[in-house]
Amino acid sequence: MWDVNDENENNLEKRDKFIDDIFEIAFGDTMLKAELLEEHNYQEVTNKIMEYSDNALKWEEQEDMLERFIKTLNLEEEEDYFLNERLQRFIKEQN
């Protein structure tokens, strides 16, 4: 693991590997990744990772909403025809 306070050569290699890994998480193993690494464009990488984080949060919120909706259903008595209508109404009530 990279230690920010350790300046020996082995640690610098670990730092470079860490940075490379972060760029790859953000952009995959692409020419864009190589260009951004060359330019030391950390802001673009930060923006992309924040976008991933924001999308993950939205997904988690949707999962929570869907779980709450499912708990409101009595599936033994509910007709499939009405599920979409009830889901749409539930979503509106949540917002």
Predicted TM-score (pTM) above 0.75:
no
36 and 56 housed in the same domain = no
Look at residue 51 and tell me whether its pLDDT is greater than 90.
yes
Q: How many domains does the chain have?
A: 2
Count, residues in the chain: 95
Look at residue 44 and tell me whether its pLDDT is greater than 80.
yes
Q: From CA 11, how far away is CA 29, in angstroms rounded?
A: 23
Q: Decide which of 31 and 78 is more confident.
A: 31
Section 70-76 average pLDDT: 69
Look at residue 19 and tell me whether its pLDDT is greater than 60.
yes
Section 86-92 average pLDDT: 79
**Is 47 within the bounds of a domain?**
no
29 and 6 housed in the same domain = yes
| Cβ neighbourhood burial of 9 (10 Å; 0-12, 13-18, 19+) | exposed
36 and 72 housed in the same domain = no
Q: From CA 93, how far away is CA 3, in angstroms rounded?
A: 49
Look at residue 90 and tell me whether its pLDDT is greater than 90.
no
